[in-house]
Amino acid sequence: MHFRSVFIVTAILLTTASPGVQQAIAKRISTSAFIDQWDTDHDGTLDIDEFSTAAMARFDSLDQGHTGNLKRSQLRGIISYVEFRRFDTNKNGLLDKGEYRVMLKKLFSAVDKDHNGTLDKKELHRFVGRSRFRFFEI
């Protein structure tokens, strides 16, 4: 998995549409604040379930028609055309929730450099970088 894909999934996660997250983004959310927002077991890391919850909240916010699918146009500026096509495994021009979850699992594994099943602040920050906020406009 290459760097851009990891960056993109982090951007997707950090752009969830809940009002609290929008306010945090407006204040330049930190990696720590993001983990605090989604870390339901309060262990200072995100496991795959917590990571997926955040990402699926973003999916739902983008899926304004509640179709259970995202068109390429809904993900423009978040993932590239090439990445969209790679994860659109049934080649119908849409990413359904199943395809989106597969993308998340692959990206989670790529970010989890120590392979312990969780993402800590260091792992997230390493892949997000300073330019992370250009994708966070909702």
pLDDT in tens, 69-95: 999 999 887 778 998 999 999 999 999
CA 22/CA 138 separation, integer angstroms: 8
CA 53/CA 117 separation, integer angstroms: 15
Answer whether residue 98 shows pLDDT above 60: yes
Residue 133 lies in a domain: no
Residue 138 lies in a domain: no
Nearest CA to 103 out of 39, 52, 35 is that of 52
Domain span at residue 56? 3-125
Nearest CA to 4 out of 125, 138, 105, 128 is that of 128
Residue 26 has a pLDDT of 44
CA 31/CA 120 separation, integer angstroms: 9
pLDDT band at 7 (very low <50, low <70, confident <90, very high): low
Rounded to the nearest integer, the mean pLDDT of the chain is: 78
Residue 10 has a pLDDT of 61
pLDDT band at 3 (very low <50, low <70, confident <90, very high): low
* pLDDT tens digits for range 21-39: 444 444 456 778 888 888 9
Higher-pLDDT residue of 55, 19:
55
pTM: 0.70
Residue 88 lies in a domain: yes
Q: DSSP secondary-structure letter at 90?
A: T
Asked if residues 51 and 34 have their Cβ atoms less than 8 Å apart, the reply is no
Residue 138 has a pLDDT of 28
Residue 101 lies in a domain: yes
| Domain total in the chain | 1
CATH classification at residue 30: 1.10.238
